[in-house]
Structure formats: structure tokens, C-alpha cells
Amino acid sequence: MDPKELPPNVRDDKISEETKKLISSLPSHTDSQGQKLCKYQGCWYYYNTLQGVLNFQSGFQPQDTDIILASYPKSGTTWLKALTVALLGRSKNHSSSNDHPLLYDNPHGIVPFLEIDVYHESSSPNLDNFSATPRLFSTHMPLHAMQETLKQSPCKIVYVCRNLKDTLFSTWLFACAIFKIEPTRSILDSMFKSLCNGTIFYGPFWDHLLSYWRGSFKDPKHVLFMRYEEMKAEPHEQIKRHADFLGCPFTKQEEESGVVDKILDLCSLRNLSSLEVNKTGKVNNVDHKNFFRKGEVGDSKNYLTTEMENKIDMIIQEKLQSSGLNF
């Protein structure tokens, strides 16, 4: 595949001389698709993504009202973005009308990633598009990668996590779709190995989860920990939790007039994936349609072998032991 067709953050063509020097001193690894990764501050990044992380760390100036949506890839990021846009958009009174931004752009176009989009090329990007408050950003960085930059900032972070088996399964199909390759068992096996030994993009998975899990206990006013499975099982309760945390709780009148249901419906996988913009558009060389698949809990069950499931259960048990977080 022509590297120019890859998502820019996966490549290694935007790194400065200084970053090259830094990379040469870091642990490195090549993934099953032949892309290079390195481990910086405990997290594995593709080289261009590392450049984005460094740009963010040196240049981002938080505003008190900023909101950052965080996740490990393939854990429900697109849904979280759509729900947050819809929640905040209520004040603009377009949650059900035809001018809603979600009808005309993919959630990833509306809420860009800090390290992948906004700070991808520069530590002082033009932020004119973020003149409205609150500014809404997203990230796949673990919390500890942002802590120094966000120090003393009261900005709010919403994290969504998903069970590791479905995350792995979703990652496999998504990666094969963007690399335009057949999703073979051997690719799944190789991703499984990387996931288990932690050497996967934004891994180790457990450190990612734990950084936000612990952060949400240490600072519950500023870090909210959500779970994909709970959002699916009890969407009304979870969206209210989300709205309360963001400081825009639903009023009784809104609840009675069905605003919660309208938002859930607007942001449903069924609705978003049926929109023209999500059937046809692209962001960062990724077809919008690839962000929407089945969105089911336990969908990995028929594809992962018993040994894979047992190993994942063992890892989760070992790594999350005594953290109070379980699956």
C-alpha cells in the first residue's frame, strides 16, 4: 500500500531532527503491518503520533472550560464524541432540527484529536476553529501523558473504556479495513500477541485504563470514567451521568419532553451510519463508514479462541488486581 494512503499519524514522515534523536534512544518495535512504534513515557506510539504528542505537550495551553474526550482506540470514541456534541448542542437548540452538526459531519471531523489532528504538525497550530466555548478536543493519549500540560487546569476529561476482547476484535477489523487487507487469522494472532505483551499502539491497554481509572478517583470533578458496556446497557442513566459531569444536566422539562431519547436516537449507530456524510466521507484517509460496524457487546466471542479468551482474562485479572476495576 502506498504510505500516502495511510492515516498520517501512522506514518513516520513528520518527525523533527530532535524527535529523531529522541526516538533513537527509545525502545522500538515494528507492528504486524510493518509500521514502526516507540515507547515514550510508558506508552507505544507510531512515530508521527509521538511527534503530535510532543507538540501537544510543549504547546497546548488549556482553557478552564476545555473538555477532552479520551479513549483507547476502538472503545467507543465515535459514540462518545457524538453524544458530547449533542449534549452541549442542546443550548443551541438544534438537538432535533435539520441543522445539527452531526447531520453534516462525522463526529471525528467535529471533535479532532489533539495529537493526531490539532498538534500533528506543530506545537502552535491555528486554533481559530476553536473559538466557541467550551472547546472540545479528543485524545487517545493515556492520562499521564497529559498531566504535566494540564497541571492546575480545571478542564474536564471524559474517558470511555471497553472490554479488551471486543476492543481487540474491533481493532483487527478496523486496521485491516484501513490497510485494505483481508482480515486473516494470522493478523488477529499477531495483534493478540502485541496486545498481550503491551507493545500495541497506545498500549499497554491496562496502563491506559488504569491512568484514567485512578484519575477519576483522585479527581472526580475533572475526570469521568465511562464504560461502553454500561452505555449500551443503560443509556439513559449513563447519558445523564455524562451531562451532570459536564455541568449541563437535563432539566425535568427536557426529560419529560423526550430530549434524552432524541439525543440517544440522533447518536445511535443506526442513525449515524445511515447519514450520507458517514457513508461517503473520509477523515485522515479513513472512510467514515469504517467507524461504524456492529457496536455489539460480546461480538468477539465467536472469533477469539478459548485460549485467547483465557489469556486475556488472566492478563486483566493480573494487571487490574486490587485496582477495583474489573470486567
Active-site amino acid positions: 140
Q: Say if CB 202 and CB 142 are below 8 A apart.
A: yes
Structure-block grid coordinates of residue 171: 481493532
Length of the chain (residues): 327
| Shortest separation between residue 164's beta carbon and ligand A3P, angstroms | 12
170 near ligand A3P, rule: CB under 6 A: yes
Q: 53 and 61 in contact (C-beta within 8 Å)?
A: no
Among 112, 125, 134, 295, binds ligand A3P (CB under 6 A): 295
Q: Are 166 and 298 contacting, i.e. CB atoms less than 8 angstroms apart?
A: yes
Q: Tell me the closest approach of the beta carbon of residue 295 to ligand A3P, in angstroms.
A: 3
Tell me which residue of 105, 14, 114, 127 sits closest to 56, measured CA to CA: 114
Encoded one letter per residue, x for contact with ligand A3P by CB under 6 A and - for no contact, window 256-275 reads -----------xxx--x---
Return the range that interacts with ligand A3P (CB under 6 A); candidates 49-57, 165-173, 178-186, 193-201.
165-173
* DSSP assignment string, 35-101: -EEEEETTEEEEHHHHHHHHHHHHH----TT-EEEEE-TTSSHHHHHHHHHHHHHGGGT-SSSTT-G
Q: Is 293 in the site for ligand A3P (CB under 6 A)?
A: yes
- With respect to ligand A3P, which residue has the nearer C-beta, 13 or 276? 276
CB 60 within 8 Å of CB 36: no
Q: Stretches 1-9, 67-75, 211-219, 252-260: which one binds ligand A3P (CB under 6 A)? A: 67-75
Q: Mask of contacts with ligand A3P, 206-235, x by CB under 6 A? A: ------------------------------
Which residue in 111, 166, 212, 215 binds ligand A3P (CB under 6 A)?
166
Which stretch, 25-33, 49-57, 249-257, 286-294, contacts ligand A3P (CB under 6 A)?
Answer: 286-294
Q: Which residues pair with 174 in a beta bridge?
A: none
**Please, are residues 71 and 39 in contact by the beta-carbon 8 Å criterion?**
no
Map the footprint of ligand A3P across residues 69-108, applying CB under 6 A: 71, 73-79, 82
Size, binding site for ligand A3P by CB under 6 A: 22
In the complex, the smallest distance separating the C-beta of residue 2 from ligand A3P, rounded to whole angstroms, is 24
Cell of 205: 491497554
* Residues whose CB is less than 8 angstroms from the CB of residue 238 and which lie 6 or more positions away in sequence, other chains included: 226, 230, 231
Q: Are 191 and 170 in contact (CB under 8 A)?
A: no
Q: Which of 229, 254, 255, 299 binds ligand A3P (CB under 6 A)?
A: 299
Are 76 and 231 a contacting pair, CB within 8 Å? Answer: yes
Binding of ligand A3P at residue 248 (CB under 6 A)? no
Q: Which CB sits closer to ligand A3P, 55 or 71?
A: 71
What's the burial of 132, exposed, middle or buried (CB within 10 Å: 0-12/13-18/19+)?
Answer: exposed
The nearest distance, CB 319 to ligand A3P, in angstroms, is 21
List, in sequence order, every beta strand (DSSP E) within 59-176: 67-71, 136-139, 156-161
Amino acid at 40: Y
Per CB under 6 A, 198 contacts ligand A3P: no
User: Positive or negative, the Cα torsion across 208, 209, 211, 215?
Assistant: positive
Q: Which of 20, 282, 294, 301 binds ligand A3P (CB under 6 A)?
A: 294
Using CA atoms, how far apart are residues 43 and 200, in angstroms rounded to an integer?
9
Task: List the one residue from 158, 211, 292, 316 that touches ligand A3P (CB under 6 A).
Answer: 292
* Cβ nearer to ligand A3P, comparing 50 with 86: 86
Query: Contact residues for ligand A3P (CB under 6 A)?
Result: 71, 73-79, 82, 166, 170, 173, 267-269, 272, 291-295, 299
